[in-house]
Structure 1
Amino acid sequence: MKARVTVTLKNGVLDPQGKAIEGALGALGFGGVGGVRQGKVFDIELEGADKEKARADLEAMCEKLLANTVIENYAIELS
């Protein structure tokens, strides 16, 4: 089973890297770009086909390592 975990900063948390990307895109001639936020994507392969256990394991991974839940949100997609 494959999973994709997307981690992004919570609304209200400053995102200096996103601001830098926004400025760089403008400097490259891409007008009208605003509100850029950056994040992380993890593609994870899991053994077994039990979606409930996979989701529970992925949530534990996010809570313990992949995301700083004080300032970040995460979303899990299973396929």
Structure 2
Amino acid sequence: MGHVVVDVMLKSEILDPQGQAVAGALPRLGFEQFTDVRQGKRFVLAVDGDVTDAHLAAAREAADKLLSNPVIEDVVSVHDLKDEQ
């Protein structure tokens, strides 16, 4: 079984309250090296067999039509999960 990963992020011009909350908490926990945080979403889509170019193309189409809101979000990545390893 293969897995396609779709990563979606808020557009840079969109206010990100969750990211701001995390950014504010990091220094209080001793993590001073991070200057900004943006929140996003990750979808992992399972497919039968190995991931093919057709699976990736279908995932990109699903990302544009269903998994993201193009008004406020960008699809930043569509890839085979095994490419992360």
Query: Does the pair score TM above 0.5?
Result: yes
Matched, 1:4 2:5: yes
Any residues of structure 2 matched to 1:1-79 within 5 Å, and which? Answer: 1-49=2-50, 51-74=52-75, 75-78=77-80, 79=82
Of 10-19 and 44-53, the range deviating more from structure 2: 44-53
The 1:76–1:50 alpha-carbon spacing in structure 2 relative to 1, beyond 3 Å, is closer
Q: Give me the TM-score of the superposition, normalised by structure 1.
A: 0.83
Moved over 4 A (4+): none
Letter matched to residue 61 of structure 2 = A
What is the total number of aligned residue pairs between the two structures? 79
Q: Percent identity?
A: 39
Quick check: 45-54 or 2-11, which moved more?
45-54
Q: Is the 8 A contact 2:6 2:79 kept in 1?
A: yes
Unaligned runs of 5+ in 2: none
Counterpart amino acid of 1:24? A
Question: Secondary structure of the residue that 1:43 maps to in structure 2?
Answer: strand
- Superposed CA deviations along residues 3-57 of structure 1, whole A, max 9, x for unmatched, are 1111111122111110000001122122132111111111111125472321221
Amino acid at match of 1:35: D
